Amino acid sequence: MAALYRKYRPQSFEEVVGQEAVVRTLSNAIGTDAVRQAYLFAGPRGTGKTSMARILAKCLNCTQGPTTTPDSNCHACRAIAAGTSLDVIEMDAASQRGIDDIREIRDRVVLQPVEGRYKVYILDEAHQLTDAAWNALLKLIEEPPPHLVFVFCTTDLSKVLPTVRSRCQTFVFQRPRLQDLVKVLRQIADAEQIEAPDQALALVARSGRGAYRDAVSTLDQLGSATGNQVTVQSVLELLGTVEEEALFRLCDLVIDRDTAGALTYVEELSERGHDLGRLVLDLIEHLRQLVLAQHLGDVPESAATSEEARERLQAQANQLEEATVLRLVDLLAVAVDDMRQGGDPRLPLELALVKVTRPASDLSRESIAFRLERLEQGAAPAARAAPAAPPAPTPDAAAEPEPVPEPQPVPVSVGAPALELSQLQEAWARTVLPAVEERGGIPTASLLREAHPAELSGDTLTLEFPPSAQFHLDLARDPKNANLLADALYDVTGRRLELVFELGEAREAPPADEEPAGEERILELLKDTFDARERED
């Protein structure tokens, strides 16, 4: 029995889904007798390039044609569909990629078609042909016999020689929309009497990543594994995918800043056997849809498979701050990098959830910038809600002397986050000095490694150097180095700090009359401290 993706391969232009532009152009070319000698079909795997090439061959060689609606019943159509036609030659360029294979083609193309009007050569994975093979084909592509048509199919258009592309009509196949893929799966499931709810088919379609063949093959496997009784749980068990509800719930926990709940839910998903690596990828895709909804004002049609999911996506896009979504995507990208290197994605996923739900626990520059953005977003509505200025005083009132207001203390870095000396000391070597280096101050960062934050009073930061580092202190006071450090501190803390450089106090030296402990004293200390005994040999 043939695999489902072969059994339900489209046999006419009307059965092709998701490639309307390609179908329209080829149909017009056939209808106006403007068929070209070479076509180049490019696009991701499983999007129907070879199937489209076969349909084109059927349209050209059908006994009713050339026609855009081949009858599929004549001998030529049935032979092309079965892959046994002598006039349609399919070659795999991955294994037949050398100049000798191309010479064989050149020797055969002079022969007339056996029963059709055209000889059609379909070269799959054409980008794997060698440069010598392409060069041997150039003349044949440019000036072929009138009965010859080439169709080159490739998944990597950039590897095809520009001289070849200029001699071909190029069609770029698009990935199908999620709704189109679900529609195709539903038609196949009904024809094969496979019982599957729409939610299960949506998960299968999403796992196909825009490839018809992958999605249909997965449905075929599920039908065999479940006895044609496909459920959402069976899809999750087979593919390791995460249902939409889990993604919505994780984002709801992020909205609520529920760190414990998010970590507990990850633990629950792990115990239920979910692939946490797949969870990271699916969560990134979910966040991408939220970003699109936030910037487009509406959920794209391809982002949801049902109206209920569309409404929930829009609601979460309104509740989640844009800065939070972008920050979480950046943190999850670390988990993706770890997975590519063979690491376990669980710890990076948990750290991402902790950092995004508790920003104060992260002292990195990115986290501080994220907190500053949140403060600015919160300050903007407050500024808009500020009371209007009082009306101008009347002449009588202006004549009266106004009371002199009491001096108010100047607020410290209005709008900036609170900063403590302990936080600055902890972030000094890990965050501040790298920020100086990024600004091009590698020598400045080197001399500042001798210093440490000693005191923070308001917006004045005192940096203390060792007593023996007078030279480094003098260099740090240079305006160029001081300004570089001030700018780096502003990047990290969001506050413009005034810098004071000082030498630390020298430690008290031991009394001059105190002699270093001798061997006998050291032995006594060892005996008293460790209950040691001398060993006699």
Q: What are the mean pLDDT values of the chain's consecutive 10-residue runs (537 residues total)?
A: 81 85 90 88 87 90 85 86 85 76 78 84 86 82 85 89 88 85 89 86 81 87 87 79 80 88 88 82 87 80 66 85 86 83 82 83 57 56 48 47 44 54 80 80 80 85 85 84 84 81 67 55 62 63
Shared domain for 16 and 142, answered yes or no, is yes
| 385 occurs within a structural domain | no
Shared domain for 136 and 283, answered yes or no, is no
Shared domain for 122 and 217, answered yes or no, is no
Q: What is the pLDDT of residue 360?
A: 66
Q: What is the pLDDT of residue 302?
A: 60
Structural domain count, the chain: 4
Distance CA 414, CA 424 (A): 19
| 415 occurs within a structural domain | no
Q: What is the pLDDT of residue 375?
A: 58
Q: What is the pLDDT of residue 413?
A: 44
Distance CA 299, CA 289 (A): 7
Q: What is the pLDDT of residue 183?
A: 87
- Mark which of 361, 382, 405 sits at the end of a domain: 361
Shared domain for 272 and 296, answered yes or no, is yes
Shared domain for 285 and 196, answered yes or no, is no
Shared domain for 210 and 281, answered yes or no, is no
CATH of residue 458: 3.30.300.180
How does 456-477 read in b/e, with b if 16+ C-beta sit within 10 Å? beeeebbbbbeeebeebbebbe
| 334 occurs within a structural domain | yes
Q: What is the pLDDT of residue 490?
A: 81
Candidates 5, 10, 4, 6; CA nearest to 23 is: 10
Strands (E), 136-274: 148-154, 169-172
pTM recorded for the entire structure: 0.57
* Apex 95 CA angle, 212 and 130, nearest 5: 105
Q: What is the pLDDT of residue 372?
A: 60
Question: By residue range, what is the domain housing residue 226?
Answer: 178-239
CATH of residue 229: 1.10.8.60
Angle between helical axes of 276-296 and 259-271 (0-180°, round to 10): 130
Shared domain for 74 and 20, answered yes or no, is yes
Report the relative pairing of strands 460-465 and 452-457 from DSSP bridges: antiparallel
Strands (E), 23-100: 38-42, 88-92
Shared domain for 249 and 230, answered yes or no, is no
